Amino acid sequence: MKIGFIGMGNMAGAIAGGILKAGIVAPGEICFFDVSEAAIEHGKALGFTAFSDENDVVKNSEYVFLCVKPQSFTEVLSKIKGSVSDKNMFLTIAAGIKISSITSAVGDVAVIRAMPNTPLLMGCGAVALTKNEKATQTQFDFIKLIFESVGTVYELPENKFNEVINVNGSTPAYIYLFAKTVADYAVESGIPFEIALPMFCDTLKGSAEMLTKSGKTPDELITMVSSKGGTTVAAMNKFAETGFADSLRAGMKACVDRAYELSI
């Protein structure tokens, strides 16, 4: 097998779907292990080979995607240690799991670390990537090709991988909370939810285009919207008064602190 997944949850499924859609490898070149019956059936339906043990994935795959929760990593690495060989390259998508944690557990192997986000499920994710010295440029380019099939790739040093969670990994949840608050308030104001939420999403898309293509800074774009003495200024003043930015920063700090707590 070319690619093996240990864990076939939502993120692994999104990555695998991108691989198939882009024709990077055939379904018959992908194998996986998962404890969930639903995940097993889903993987089989895509044409992947299901194994009943993590070690079979390692023994039969060149690229091994470790798609398990951070809390499960120690157990999984302990289980597969005896099956690892020089042919394996490991990829981790878990928050807080350092490259050195993998190599110290299973040996001096090639490792690539990724921090993806859930928009991968829609083919428009944002992914941070880094590698150790053992991983070749060819291996890195192959992994980059896979993630480019479901989003955009950014290369970052590993010592910023806990901090980048606030930029791409956890941030969709922050945006969804923002969207829910806007839509709920719109409903309270008499605007139907089925109009408010799509309208907000269209505004979000347009705002993202302005941020990426206008050439203007966030501060300049805020000024463009904020007429003196107008409605936007009233809202921005209230946000400042109630500590909107401070609250957001506090949440972001808690996110990074938790990433370091999860680190092994």
> Are both 16 and 137 inside the same structural domain?
yes
Out of 117, 139, 161, pick the residue that ends a domain: 161
- Residue 47: what are its φ and ψ, rounded to 5°? 95, 10
Beta-strand pair 63-66/49-50: unpaired
Asked whether the beta carbons of 67 and 12 are under 8 A apart, the reply is: yes
Residues 56 and 81 in one domain: yes
Q: Which domain holds residue 146?
A: 3-161
Q: Convert the pLDDT of each residue in 155-186 to its tens digit.
A: 999 999 999 999 999 999 999 999 999 999 99
Say if residue 138 is in the same domain as residue 210: no
Final residue belonging to a domain, choices 143, 161, 179: 161
Question: Kind and range of the H or E element at 58?
Answer: helix 54-59
Q: What contacts 247, CB < 8 A, 6 or more positions away?
A: none
Residues 106, 99 contacting (CB under 8 angstroms):
no
pLDDT of residue 80: 97
- Residues (pLDDT < 50) of the chain are none
Q: How far apart are CA 226 and CA 245, in angstroms?
A: 17
Please check whether residues 14 and 140 belong to one and the same domain. yes
Same domain, 188 and 127: no
Instruction: Check whether residue 235 and residue 149 sit in a common domain.
Output: no
pLDDT score of 1: 79
* CATH number, position 204: 1.10.3730.10
CA pair distance 15, 93, nearest whole angstrom = 11
Alpha-carbon distance of 233 to 102, in angstroms, equals 50
99 and 197, same domain (yes or no): no
Tally of domains in the chain = 2
Q: What pLDDT is recorded for position 263?
A: 83
- Position 162 scores a pLDDT of 94
**Alpha-carbon gap, residue 178 to 138, rounded angstroms:** 40
For residues 115 and 208, membership in a common domain is answered with no
Q: What integer pLDDT is reported at residue 96 of this predicted model?
A: 87
Same structural domain for residues 14 and 51? yes
Give me the pLDDT at residue 262, please: 85
Assess whether 175 and 156 both reside in one domain: no
Residue 166 lies in a domain: no
**151 & 178 share domain:** no
One domain for residues 153 and 175 = no
pTM across the whole model: 0.91
- The confidence score (pLDDT) of residue 144 equals 97
